[in-house]
Every structure is written in structure tokens, then in C-alpha cells.
Amino acid sequence: MDRRRSRIRAGWVSALTLLGGGCYACGGAERADGGLGQTVATATATADAANPVSSATADDEAPPTDWREALRQHRWDQALKLLDELPKEQRNEPTIRLARGRAALAAGHHAQAVEALQELEAALPSVAGEIQAWYAQAAAVAGPHEAAAKLFSTSPKVQDQISAAKAYQRAGKLKTARKVVDKAIRQARQTRRHASEEQAHEVRATIAEAARDKAVAGTDWRWLVNHAKDPTRVRKAITGFARVGGRLSVPERVAALARSTSHDNLAATLTELDALADKHKTQAAVIAMGRAQALNQARDYAQALGAFDAAGALPTPHLAEIKYYAARCAARSGDVTGAIDRYAEIPRRFRKSGWAERAAYRRAELLLRTGRYTEAATAYARYSSRFGKSKWRARARYGRAMALLSCGKPAEAKTQFAALRKDATNRRFVASLRHLEGVAALRSGDQPTAKKLWLDLIGEQPLTWPALAAHARLKQLGHTPLPPVMPLPPTTAHTALPLTLPAAPALLHSVGLDAAAEGRLALMEQEAAARYPGRESEALCGLYGLLTGARRRYKVGSRAVSLEQLMRPPSTAERWTWTCVYPYPFPDLVRREEQRYGLPTGLVHAVMRQESAFQTTARSPVGARGLMQLMPATASRAAAEAGIDPPNDILRPDINIRLGAFYLAKLLDSFNGSVPLAVAAYNAGPQAVQSWVTDGDDRDVDVWVARIPYRETRHYVQRVLGNLSRYQWLAGGNGAVMPAPLQLPKETDIGDQAY
């Protein structure tokens, strides 16, 4: 192999590793981002890309008429249509073939992609790695399969080894496929990549079946039955194990069915469990427990409650666990009072069980949530006394302080918040505790202490949610002089960097392939930044700012910019630190949808930053997708309600942003314009937030946010509101920052069809 071929091969391996080359089943779109391109010669800009290049068409309902823009919006078929309309001689140009190949791959037209990309690296050596990665993904589906397998095999990535095995299987090379997938399983196990290990076991099972090796296939299918976390894969494994003559024990089958149950397959699961119960009378307790777990997994909490009660009536060593989950189902089905009573029974009856500790904590939590603050304070105190070494002890202390604050004992609450603040190490938590300590001081009549706490907080951690709430409190008290939410930034001399993308990223960027450009730039950051000595991080942020996507830019900023830099107003020379950590991807799309639905400026980006960290293809473990992390069912209902055609690709930025913006507007309307409530509902669901609003009588917004029962949602709301304040400050200074509301709305209405 000559030196040139060696360099191409090295680039191919790097491209596979970064671009997710093993995901050929998804059409190659796993890493696709949008963006607006420039020519290689003109890909320059200043370091501060606070106003990034456009990413939307002038007519927001019409498809783009430029193939580059179509690529940047992930409108793959539209891009292909526009590329096909080019003159024949232009279609044969290497850069056009590159764009056609990538678009065809993402659109699922694998044979077209193979044709466009075949041997193209000779004409475009600077992007040979990307070309070979995309060619392998396309050829793995359309052929030549063995060529794809050999390319995948050169990558050290587990996912690519799995793809190589699948391609070898399609090529009929079963022995080679088996050897490669064995290696992938070992590597996945060693690196603790459970999802990859699951996939590799499934691939090996199918290879073994094709080779008529029922023993190996059975071993892999059974491993998946007992260990896979993906519900679909569990169901497939149950069927596969039976197909090769395997027989699961009743406990194995019941456990697998229960943990892979969803709303869609619940009826079939219950039918199968009923059949097992009729056939295996001696396993009645195991099957009854499985039935309850299946209903709980499918979120049918009312039926699950009855099923857990039925399971608890049978002889079982798991009675404490059953009663605990029955209490949880009671709470989730709306019987909160019954749940509190059920939780109270468990510590009394099962004193030495670990479920006693959980039940005691959940009971205190429910008492706080439902406004029984005095009882909650007592319950938290008893929990801490009995389970002082619990991993939840800090949360219990916080819960008790919140209960004391709302039950008329603010002086005690102030003492608790001060003690918690002394022990806390997380700066966000410290800020929240300082603000709450101020609220407690105010309620206990100590206004000077409250003011001092709030003034210090505003000065040290401006534009955080606690600081915004503190500012609103001071304004309500008529404090003068009222400090600005952020001091005025100093004006300093600053020379903009003349940024130019390196050759390979610039080429990809020029044809609308910004995600690939971002990936290639990530592989050469040190080299690219070295051209700007003394301003390396600024340069990298600026270079990524030339691309429409913001995923890598945000990561670079998070690594390069300190928290201290974000806690002071940026000078002209430092403004890049803020725009790097708070970037504006797809600015025209976002602006259009915020205006369409009357959203506060910056809210979409504030949510996007927290939901997906600007990754267009983000997929959560529960199935949320895209920049705004929409669940497919939510996206479908939102589209129908908004009068939009059913979305066929909610990962596409324009679709994802529009539906996310519509849903935010719907939540704002449901919660009477309250941004904190709408943001909480975006994370936890409107039904949960509605119940939190109606339970309890402490109506201060800052206290309500601090009392949100779901810890994840509580942190989420505070961070999104902090994000929003910074986006607004960047857009218009202190005057653009929305003041924090102090009271919950008097009326909210989520309606009967909330989702």
C-alpha cells in the first residue's frame, strides 16, 4: 500500500469513528446537521458569530430552491431533485457527486449513493475518509457487501465491527462474519458498551441461525432475553429462542415479558400471562407479580394497583416490594391520600427491609407535594433520624427545609438552608439555597438579611434563575438603588480574527455538508487552532460558528470557557466566550417559529440547549428525538393540532423546531403565559405540573420551582430559565431580559386533551 493510500485509509478510519459509519441501517443520517455554506475561497467570518448565517428559505412554506440549502435542512429528496435538474456536465463534477451520494444515502437510496461515491476519493482526496465511510454504509445495503465489510473492518469502533459482520453475512461469508462479531462482543463487554453488546449478540444469533448453529444462536437469544434493555430486542429474542428450539423457564419468560411491555403490546402480554397462569398453577405468585409489573411498565397505573394488591395476597417473599409499588401506582393514578397511607404501612411492617427506607422518603415527598407541610417536615425529620446514613439524606434535609418554609416556620427553614449551603459544593445548588435562605429571612421578618443575601447573589451569579428571582424580590420590596441584572460590560479594543476553515472542512461546508465539515474539523482542532496563537479557543469557536450546527461549538465552549467568565459581563474581546457557550443554530428557523407562535425571544434556543445540546439527531432512552427532543406521539398530535402534514422525519431541523415551538406555545397558553410552568410541563408533562399547581397553598413562583417534586424537572426549569436570560441579554442587554414572575397564575387550564 503506497503512502497516499495509507493516508486515505487513516482518514477513513477517523471518519468512521466520528461520523458513526456503522449505522447503515438508518440511511446514514445519524450524524447529519444542517448549515449554510460558502465557497471554499470565501469561508471566512469574524470570531463572534452571534448572528450566524441564514438557514431558512424566504418562503417558510416552500421547499428550498437551492440544493445546498436543501441539504442543510436535511431535505434529502428535495436536494436530490434539485441536483438532478443540474446540467449533465455539472452533475458529473466531483463535488456534485459528493453531494448526491450523501443525499442519496440519507434518503435511503443506497444504490444511487454507491454509484455516486464509487472511486470518488481519487478526485477529492482531502475528503477521502468521508467518501469511503458513506460508500461503506451504502454498499452494506445495496452491495457490493464484501467491499463494505472490508471497509468497516478497518475501523476500531465496536459499532463498525458489528456493521462489518452484518455486511459479511449479506455477502454469504458466514465464517468471517462470525469471527468479526465475536471480536465485537468481546470489545463491547470490555468497554462496557451495553447497547453495542446487545446488538452484537443479536447479530451473532442471526449469523448462527444462518449457519444452522442452533446452540450458539440459542445461547445468544437467551442472553438477550435475560439481559437486553431494548424492549423490541427482548421480544425478538423470545421469538428467536423458541425458533431454535429453546424453552424458557416460567420466571424467565414472565420477567422478559414484563420488562418489555409497552402500551402497544400490553393486551398481547396480558393474554400470554393469562395462558401461563392457566398452565402453571404452581407459579401463580410469579405470574401475578409479572402481570402487575407489565401494567406498571405500560403506565396503566389504576390496573397495576389492583394487580399489585392481588399479587400481595399470594404467598411471596417480595411482599414489601409489592406494597411499595402498589403505593407508587396509587399516587400515579391520583389516589395520593391512599398512597401516603400505603407508604406509612411499609416502615412499620417491614422495619429491616430496604423498601422501608424508600417508602418513608416517598411518603414525606408526597406530603410536601400535596401541601401538608407540617406533616412533611415531621416525616422528613423522622426519616433523617431513622435512616441517617441513607444516600437520600441530603435530599431529605432539603425537603424538610422546604416544608418548614411553607408551614409557617421560616426561622427554622433559614437555619436549615444556611446549613445546607455550608455543606453544598455545586454552585447552582448553592445559588438556589442562598436565594431560599433570603426568602426564609424575609418571611421571618429579617428584611436586611434577605436583601444582603440577594444582593450578594445577584453580584456573584448574575442571570441565573435564583439571581433573577432575587432581583424580582428586591424590586417588589422597593429596594434602591436596584442593581442591574448584569453590570454593563467594559468596552475594550478588539481585533476580529480573519477565520478560514481548513481545506477539507471548507470543501464539505461549500456543498452544504456542514455536519461532515464539523466532524472533520473536530479531528484537526489542534492543527486548525495553531494558526491563531494566543487565541486558540476563540478561533475554534469562531470556526465552528461558520457552520450552522452548534453541537461541537457548544462542546468546545464548555471546555474552554470557565464559569467565572460567564459570571461577569463580557468585554468586547470576551464576547466570544458567551456566544460559544450560548450559540444560535438555525437562527432564521428559530426566529420564524418564535414569531409565528408568539414565543419569548430566546426560549426555543434555551430549551434546545438543555434538551439536546444542539445535536440534531439526539435520541433519548425513552424515544425523544431531535433538537427539541420530541416524542413521536407528541409530534404527531402537535402536527395535527397545528394543521401541519404528519411529520415523516421529526429529526429534520425545520420540522422539529416548528413542532417544538408550537408545543411550547400550547403549554404557555395552558398555563396562562407562565414561562416557568410551561418549561416545567415541557419536561414533566402538563398533567403533572397542573397537579403541582393545584396542590398546596404557597403560591410564590420561586418557592414553587424549588419545591418541584421531580429533581430532574426542578434542575431543568432553573437551567432553561437561566439559559433564556442569557440569550435575551446577548440579544438586547439588560432591557431585553424578562423579569422573573413572583406569583403563580390564578387560573390554569390544560384541558381534557392535554399531552
- Find the DSSP H helices in 393-550: 393-406, 410-423, 427-443, 447-460, 465-476, 503-510, 514-523, 525-529, 536-545
Q: Which three cell numbers stand for residue 157?
A: 469502533
> Which pLDDT score is estimated for 131?
98
pLDDT band per the 50, 70, 90 thresholds, residue 493: confident
- Helix pair angle (214-227, 194-210), 10° resolution: 150
**Could you give the CA distance from residue 209 to residue 220 in angstroms, rounded to a whole number?**
11
Q: How many CB atoms lie within 10 A of CB 124?
A: 17
**CB of 624 closer than 8 Å to CB of 631:** yes
**Could you give the CA distance from residue 470 to residue 451 in angstroms, rounded to a whole number?**
9
Mean pLDDT over 451-478 rounds to: 98
**CB of 241 closer than 8 Å to CB of 222:** yes
pLDDT digits (tens, 9 = 90+) for 621-644: 889 999 999 999 999 999 999 999
**Buried b / exposed e along 92-101 (16+ C-beta atoms within 10 A):** eeebbbbbbb
**Could you give the CA distance from residue 416 to residue 522 in angstroms, rounded to a whole number?**
47
**CB of 400 closer than 8 Å to CB of 726:** no
pLDDT digits (tens, 9 = 90+) for 272-312: 999 999 999 999 999 999 999 999 999 999 999 999 999 99
pLDDT digits (tens, 9 = 90+) for 190-206: 999 999 999 999 999 99
pLDDT digits (tens, 9 = 90+) for 504-543: 999 999 999 999 999 999 999 999 999 999 999 999 999 9
Radius of gyration, CA atoms only, the chain:
29
* Cα-Cα end-to-end distance for the chain: 59
Using left for φ > 0, alpha for ψ between -120 and 50, and beta otherwise, residue 299 falls in left
Grid look-up 440579544 returns: 731
Q: Where are the domain boundaries for CATH 1.25.40.10 in the chain?
A: 3-222
The better pLDDT of the pair 401, 29 is held by 401
pLDDT digits (tens, 9 = 90+) for 38-52: 233 333 333 333 333
**Could you give the CA distance from residue 167 to residue 161 in angstroms, rounded to a whole number?**
10
- In the CATH scheme, what is the code of domain 3-222? 1.25.40.10
CATH of 587-736, one of 1.10.530.10, 3.40.228.10, 3.40.50.10880, 1.20.80.30: 1.10.530.10
Grid look-up 503512502 returns: 3
Mean pLDDT over 562-573 rounds to: 95
Reference 203, options 221, 226, 227; nearest CA is 221
- Among residues 198, 321, 357, 611, which one is catalytic? 611
Identity of the residue numbered 58: A
**Could you give the CA distance from residue 101 to residue 114 in angstroms, rounded to a whole number?**
7
pLDDT band per the 50, 70, 90 thresholds, residue 326: very high
**CB of 458 closer than 8 Å to CB of 435:** no
Backbone angles phi, psi at 621, to 5 degrees: -60, -25
Q: What is the mean pLDDT of the chain?
A: 92
pLDDT digits (tens, 9 = 90+) for 671-725: 999 999 999 999 999 999 999 998 877 899 999 999 999 999 999 999 999 999 9
> Which pLDDT score is estimated for 752?
84
Mean pLDDT over 593-619 rounds to: 98
CA atoms within 13 A on the CB side of 685: 10
> Which pLDDT score is estimated for 61?
64
Backbone angles phi, psi at 546, to 5 degrees: -75, -15
**CB of 395 closer than 8 Å to CB of 365:** no
Q: Decide if 611 is catalytic.
A: yes
pLDDT band per the 50, 70, 90 thresholds, residue 13: very low
pLDDT digits (tens, 9 = 90+) for 362-393: 999 999 999 999 999 999 999 999 998 888 99
**Could you give the CA distance from residue 514 to residue 34 in angstroms, rounded to a whole number?**
6
**Could you give the CA distance from residue 475 to residue 482 in angstroms, rounded to a whole number?**
7
DSSP 68: H
Q: Where are the domain boundaries for CATH 1.10.530.10 in the chain?
A: 587-736
Tabulate helix, strand, coil % of the chain (nearest 5). Answer: 65, 0, 30
pLDDT digits (tens, 9 = 90+) for 112-148: 999 999 999 999 999 999 999 999 999 999 999 999 9
Give the 3-state secondary structure of residue 513: coil
Backbone angles phi, psi at 500, to 5 degrees: -140, 125
